[in-house]
Amino acid sequence: MQEQSDFVAGGPGIFQRKATGLVREAGTLDVLIYNINFVSLGLMTMLVFLFSTAFYPGANLYLTALLMFLLVIPTSLVFAFFASAMPRSGGDYVYVSRVLHPALGMMSSWNNTVWWFLYGGVPSAFFAQFGLAPCFSTLGQMAGIAWMQDLGVWFASDWGTFITGAVLISALVAIFSRSLRLYFRIQNTLFIISLVSLLLVAFVWLTTSSDTIIDRLGQGLGEATLRGLGQAAAEAGYTTGPFSLKWTLLAGTWVYINLVFNQSSAYIGGEVKRASRLQLWSMPTAAALTIAVLLVLLGLGDRAVGLDTIGQLAASQGLTYTQIAAFGSGSTLIAFFILVPFIFQSYTWLPGQITNASRNLLAYALDGLMPSALGRVHPRYHTPVTALVLVGAGSILALAGYVWIPVFATLVGIFGFILGFMIVSIAAIAFPYRLPDVFESSPVNARVAGIPVVSVVGALSLVALAIMAWAFLTDPSAGLNGNPGLILMNVLILLSGLVIYVVARGLQRRRGVDIAKRFAEIPVE
């Protein structure tokens, strides 16, 4: 890899410089955990127990989890195949712009980047709301320490959430600016620590009787709360019903918003070692491992307390599964090792959002679609510092939006991601025919009955994405149902990428630069 000094006047007449300045330093464990973290073992489980159990009458959550896995895998494989064939930073921007058209590449990728900016506030807020606040409130209550309970209340407040999230975003930007290698060392350590929480939840639910857990919940929450649980849950919107395939599918929106991002490492493709092999298996493996954990915890939670009871507690009390297990343990020490390590699971979308968005900005700049400043890579640290700072600032603004503007607290943007992923799936179908030389020389050039496997996978992904688009448009909890304005907003954000491409192409033409030549080749490493 070359350093920042490699800026030349169009390089060999094509790109802004001869190399990105990034270095390949992400190894096997780094990439696997990076993808698992963007799915988030703990966060996905929390959202399922908090929402899917509470507001989807007749849903079979075991079937929900399996259906979501089946619907995600084709899209996961699309990204895995592309990341193996074209291991460059920028993910779907590179794939679509080279296979279909640069305008479509900008549409799909810019759409993702915008939503990563807008949703930068969500996991940073979760850090306070679902990580720190339940930890201090529950431990304070169990130990009888008033200041801990008060601190938990502060973390859950608007200003507590904003300040805590802003500090987290700033810290991550500083770490990423120093080196991706540094982040991976921190990531891997905290991931191992965070697994203690999941293991102890499983232990408590496996070894403690239902009656004992209920009794301990009564002691923690108050007997009056448990006696009035059914009525309070019903007033909060909790209902039950016979098995419903529709609600089983709709309940999966809370699984899907996590699981579909198992392909996060595609966006740092230029920094992954042995990318052609590693990217191919790490993405679907991350999805499979995460769903396996979810199914195990669903089964244990059902055995220990019952999913109906968990749903009632979630609907009426906003109680997370970690709090249920902590109270159910009857031990402040065990509760400590459930709640504290979970803090490191509560925000794990955020690092991927910051990193991936910054690599997209870098890729745009290298192709001449964004200001060259966004393409600058630090000559010593090999990181796109300017892009990272911009993403960090945008994430802090988005955090303020999440805290004080209700629309940002919905799932409306996932529909936008789905639209973008549809374009990537079409590119996968066309890949062997549009770039035959790249396809044939890649590790993913397999055929079945003469048909390229990547094309088949792309078609299956398109079908799966259409199903999930229907789910998000139908699910009343997702925020789009009955709200055409938000649907239009998703479409306009997608189309804004086209506007950026047209404007940038025009500006470059005035400078005598034909950027079309850049899209005829795979980007520099």
pLDDT of residue 408: 62
pLDDT of residue 6: 32
In a domain, 136, yes or no: yes
pLDDT of residue 148: 97
In a domain, 248, yes or no: yes
Enumerate the β-bridge partners of residue 447: 452
Q: Give dist(CA 501, CA 84) in Å, integer.
A: 26
Q: Give dist(CA 116, CA 122) in Å, integer.
A: 10
pLDDT of residue 21: 53
In a domain, 274, yes or no: yes
Could you list the mean pLDDT of each consecutive 10-residue stretch along the chain, which spans 525 residues?
32 45 73 91 92 94 97 96 88 92 94 89 92 97 96 97 97 94 94 96 96 93 88 90 95 94 86 81 94 96 95 93 96 98 94 92 90 88 92 94 76 87 97 95 94 98 97 88 87 94 92 82 66
pLDDT of residue 366: 87
pLDDT of residue 153: 97
Distances (CA, A) of 44 to 126, 192, 205, 297: 12, 17, 18, 11
pLDDT of residue 524: 58
In a domain, 418, yes or no: yes
CA-based nearest residue to 417, from 51, 50, 112, 15: 112
Domain ranges, residue 273: 4-520
pLDDT of residue 117: 87
In a domain, 525, yes or no: no
Q: How far is CA 19 from the centre of its chain?
A: 29
pLDDT of residue 413: 83
Q: Whole-model pTM? A: 0.90
3-state secondary structure of 96: helix
Domain tally, the chain: 1
CA-based nearest residue to 244, from 51, 52, 412: 52
Give the CATH number, domain containing residue 79: 1.20.1740.10
pLDDT of residue 5: 30
pLDDT of residue 158: 95
